[in-house]
């Protein structure tokens, strides 16, 4: 069932091109350029070389022995946190920057929430000699200072966005406005499997390398495919990246984990598939967190990469069809998993990825004691250096309250 969009860029009813007319010609050009270059041998060779010699691929598939022992199933971690820059984001930005360069666009713009996509874009733009401007909500700038500074060091200009909720969705709005204005020389580099066609397809294809490597590595290590693959879901790029290669392997359970924030019942969360309804935002028909009129709701997660009211259309489609199962994890549970992975395995995960770690530990406990070892692969999509301030703040507050 390898899902491909149809000629209108739709996965079932999801996806499409709900873009302002001024962008439509550019979107058509992008689609044509992507179709040409993705099949071009020279382009592939150049990208593969960057991925291996610059990004550090393939990344390791690590057997988390201590985590496995404490939870009762075998847990492997796909170490995307080891990609240059500290997250899977570079896989996509290298691909798209290379595409932009081949298309003759000299200026790259991008939005960022956690700052990881911004950093990855700034890196790819630097190495390929392109100009780079990043839009970021002021709320996110405040909680991701480290990444803001990294982007600046990498030569990118960071444009603060002070409208709306001052987070990722508003940074996307502002990027689209810049794109609309400078469409002739500017390439808009979307960081997740969201937006108008062909972005969801293109980003998934550039991230697909995660699943391809995982498949080979797990068979090497265990002689079989995993029982379960777990990934966190904000827009869905790391999830689609690892899931896609396994879609046709019906026995492999695929689970996406959304941000339950302060708890689903509080309404302060980012669980667009679990709690959302169908609608159109940022160029795509997908699952959205919205009110009855269709106004987009404010989302919340302490992991800025999951703080988004929509999700990639292909993932919405796969979840609705039942192929991908969805779950959610609160801030509190995530923080616990963050501490466990740090102290038991010596790996500080990104708060986004720690959502998946929590779900994996719980899943491992549920499946422990089955006849053969239950085999779980978690996509550890990023490392947690960027989150240490957030975590310190949360822990600090609690100390005052006497929790820790």
Partner 1 sequence: MTLEDKFKELKAQNEKAFIGFITAGHPSAEATSEIALAMIKGGVDILELGLPFSDPIADGVTIQRASESSLSAGMNTDLYFEVAAGIKGVEKVCLTYYNLVLQRGLEQFVHDCESAGITGLIIPDLPVEESKPLLKACAGHETDLVFIIAPTTTEKRMTKILELASGFVYVVSLLGVTGERARLSDAVRPLIGKIKDLELSRDRPQIPLAVGFGISKPEHVRAVCAVADGAIVGSAFIKMIEERAGPELGDRKALLTEIEAFTMSLKQETKNTR
> Which residues are designated catalytic?
89, 111, 381
Candidates 277, 282, 235; CA nearest to 17 is 282
Strand ordering across the sheet containing 10-11: 10-11, 14-15, 284-288, 277-281
Distances in Å between the alpha carbon of 374 and those of 62, 218, 224? 16, 13, 11
Q: Which residues bind partner 1 (CB under 8 A)?
A: 8, 16-26, 163-164, 169-170, 173, 176-177, 180-184, 278-283, 288, 290, 292-296
Q: How far is the CB of 279 from partner 1 (least distance, A)?
A: 5
Comparing CB distances to partner 1, the nearer of 183 and 273 is: 183
Comparing CB distances to partner 1, the nearer of 195 and 261 is: 195
Instruction: Give the SS3 label for residue 287.
Output: strand
Comparing CB distances to partner 1, the nearer of 181 and 393 is: 181
Q: How far is the CB of 148 from partner 1 (least distance, A)?
A: 22
Distance CA 50, CA 52 (A): 6
Q: How far is the CB of 167 from partner 1 (least distance, A)?
A: 12
Distance CA 263, CA 329 (A): 8
Candidates 13, 1, 19; CA nearest to 197 is 19
Comparing CB distances to partner 1, the nearer of 107 and 212 is: 107
Candidates 148, 204, 150; CA nearest to 171 is 148
CB distance 215 to 187 below 8 Å: no
Name the phi and psi angles at 13, rounded to 5: -90, -10
Q: How far is the CB of 6 from partner 1 (least distance, A)?
A: 12
Q: How far is the CB of 194 from partner 1 (least distance, A)?
A: 13
Residues 6+ apart with CB under 8 A from 62: 76, 77, 79
Q: How far is the CB of 176 from partner 1 (least distance, A)?
A: 5
Distances in Å between the alpha carbon of 297 and those of 93, 195, 275, 343? 28, 18, 12, 36
Comparing CB distances to partner 1, the nearer of 58 and 309 is: 309
CB distance 114 to 81 below 8 Å: no
Q: What share of the chain is helix, strand, coil (3-state, %, to 5)?
A: 50, 20, 30
The conformation of residue 349, written as its DSSP 8-state character, comes to B
Residue linked to tokens 């790996």: 347
Comparing CB distances to partner 1, the nearer of 249 and 278 is: 278
């Amino acid at each position: 069932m390898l899902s491909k969009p149809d000629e209108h860029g739709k996965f079932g009813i999801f996806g499409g091109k709900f873009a302002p007319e001024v962008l439509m010609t550019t979107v058509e050009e992008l689609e044509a350029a992507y179709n040409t270059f993705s099949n071009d041998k020279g382009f592939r060779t150049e990208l593969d070389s960057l991925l291996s010699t610059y990004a550090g691929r393939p990344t390791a598939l690590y057997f988390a022995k201590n985590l496995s022992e404490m939870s009762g199933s075998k847990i492997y971690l796909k170490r995307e946190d080891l990609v240059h820059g500290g997250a899977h984001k570079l896989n996509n930005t290298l691909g798209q920057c290379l595409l932009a360069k081949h298309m003759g666009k000299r200026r790259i713009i991008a939005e960022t929430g956690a700052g990881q996509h911004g950093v990855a874009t700034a890196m790819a733009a630097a190495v390929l000699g392109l100009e780079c401007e990043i839009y970021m909500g002021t709320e996110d700038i405040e909680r991701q200072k480290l990444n803001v500074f990294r982007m600046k060091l990498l030569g990118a200009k960071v444009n603060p966005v002070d409208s709306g909720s001052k987070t990722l969705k508003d940074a996307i709005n502002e990027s689209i406005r810049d794109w609309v204005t400078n469409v002739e020389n500017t390439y808009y580099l979307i960081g997740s499997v969201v937006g108008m066609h062909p972005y969801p397809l293109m980003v998934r294809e550039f991230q697909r390398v995660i699943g391809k490597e995982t498949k080979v590595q797990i068979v090497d290590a265990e002689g079989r495919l995993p029982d379960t693959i777990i990934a966190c879901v904000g827009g869905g790029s790391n999830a689609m990246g690892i899931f896609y290669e396994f879609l046709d392997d019906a026995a492999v359970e695929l689970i996406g984990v959304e941000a339950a924030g302060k708890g689903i019942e509080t309404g302060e969360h980012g669980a667009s598939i679990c709690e959302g309804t169908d609608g159109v935002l940022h160029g795509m028909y997908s699952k959205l967190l919205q009110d009855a009129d269709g106004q987009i709701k404010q989302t919340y997660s302490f992991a800025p990469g999951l703080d988004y009211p929509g999700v990639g259309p292909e993932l919405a489609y796969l979840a609705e069809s039942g192929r991908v199962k969805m779950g959610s994890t609160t801030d509190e549970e995530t923080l616990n998993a963050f501490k466990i992975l740090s102290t038991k395995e010596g790996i500080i995960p990104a708060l986004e990825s720690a959502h998946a770690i929590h779900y994996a530990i719980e899943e491992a406990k549920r499946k422990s004691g089955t006849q053969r070892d239950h085999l779980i692969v978690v996509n550890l999509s990023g490392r947690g250096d960027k989150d240490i301030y957030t975590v310190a703040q949360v822990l600090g507050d609690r100390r005052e309250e006497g929790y820790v």
